[in-house]
Structure 1
Amino acid sequence: MNIANLSPESSKINTQKVKMLVFSVGNLNAALHIDTVQKVINYNTIFGSGLNHYGLVNIGEEEITVIDLHKKLFNLPQILNSDDKKYLLLAVNSANETFGILVKSTPELYDLSLENIRELPPSYRRADTLKIASHVTVIAEEDQERTVFILDPDELIAP
């Protein structure tokens, strides 16, 4: 099940849950549906011109496009210190193309209730850099709430 294709009708059962891998991008929280995630690996050297938010990494026998979401969303490259943990979250879109997302901290797995996931309005998606997100939810943790934007894998590697 791809969360990007969820509609209000699909959440008729209030107890239905979906697994999401949640990670931070700057001060934002993002997530991918677990069905789109292939694996999370340690950071590899990423090659690119530095002119845009795309790079390239060689994993095994495959060249994979890597997205620096921090640069895409905030127009600033993600600053990685030598003591930072660095990961590549490998995922796949509906065209079966593998891509990577550079993340600075270990992604967390959550079971999220479908009744708490809301579709973002199309007008917002057209107007904002967060058009890469299709849905939003709030995760309650101890004394705070985290707003999480659920990413659409097909929008991530679109130009």
Structure 2
Amino acid sequence: MLAKAIATDNLTTISAGTLKLLVFEMGKLTLALPVEQVKKVIRYQPTYGSGLSHVSISHLGDEEITIVDLHQKLFKTSQLNESESQGYFVITKAFSGKGIAGEPLGIIVMKTPILLEVSLAQIRVLPNSYRHADTLEIASHVAIVPQESESNLTIFILDIDRLV
């Protein structure tokens, strides 16, 4: 049942009851995208924009990519102020959200993302009431991953259609 719910929510990288995630830190949060939604991870490139919102553009090869600063969207401060030339872009595959059909997005991350395979039993749907009341409306699911220490790792799985 959970696998079917995840598959219908754009999380279809399912093999043998697991989901492969590209995991990255954003402030005190741990966020992730399903691997199938990621085109590539590249070194940070200069971005251009007004600086008044959480989106800008970057010239990548022969195309312009919309870049999303999730740190600014979530915490109202840009992580680019801390370090202008470090970090990475997680480039998504083309998606269809909010009338932006077929465009890939870049997400700024400061530390190297990691690949993590998570059991479907560890993934839960976020309640709609939480999604509508919190800045984490951009997440659709949460994964609770046991760690060697006593605490669990909580990973918010992003809904790519809600990032912009």
TM-score range, shorter chain: 0.7 to 0.9
- Partner in structure 2 of residue 149 of structure 1: 156
- Please tell me whether the aligned partners of residues 4 and 134 of structure 1 are also in contact (alpha carbons under 8 angstroms): no
Counterpart in the other structure of 1:105: 111
- Whose RCO is larger (CA < 8 A, sep 6+)? 1
C-alpha distance in 2, partners of 1:49/1:81? 18
Unaligned runs of 5+ in 2: none
Query: How many residue pairs end up in the alignment?
Result: 151
Which residues in structure 2 correspond to 1:133-148 (within 5 Å)? 133-143=139-149, 144-148=151-155
8 Å contact from structure 1 (residues 138, 147) kept in 2:
yes
The 1:63/1:28 distance shift into structure 2, 3 A limit, reads: same
Aligned to 2:8: 5
Asked if 1:81 corresponds to 2:88, the answer is no
TM-score, normalised to structure 2, is 0.84
Look up the equivalent residue of 2:83 and give its one-letter code.
Answer: N
Q: Is the 8 A contact 1:4 1:152 kept in 2?
A: no
Question: Is the contact between residue 87 and residue 104 of structure 1 (CA under 8 Å) also seen in structure 2?
Answer: yes
Q: Is residue 47 of structure 1 aligned with residue 48 of structure 2? A: yes
- For 1:61 and 1:77, locate their aligned partners in 2 and report how far apart those are by CA, in whole Å: 26
Q: What is the TM-score normalised by the length of structure 1?
A: 0.86
Counterpart residue type for residue 146 of structure 1: L
2-side partners of 1:34 and 1:46: how far apart?
Answer: 24
Q: Is the 8 A contact 1:29 1:148 kept in 2?
A: yes
